[in-house]
Amino acid sequence: MRGTIYILSVIAVIGLAYWAYVENYRTQAALSEVRGLHAEIGQAHERLTMLRAEWAYLNRPDRLRDLADLNYNRLELMPLMPDAFGRIGDVPYPQPALLPITDPIELSARTGEDFP
Which tops the pLDDT comparison, 27 or 111? 27
pLDDT of residue 103: 84
Task: Work out the average pLDDT over 16-32.
Answer: 96
| Distance linking the first and last C-alpha atoms of the chain | 96
Which tops the pLDDT comparison, 50 or 82? 50
pLDDT at 61 over 90: no
pLDDT at 57 over 70: yes
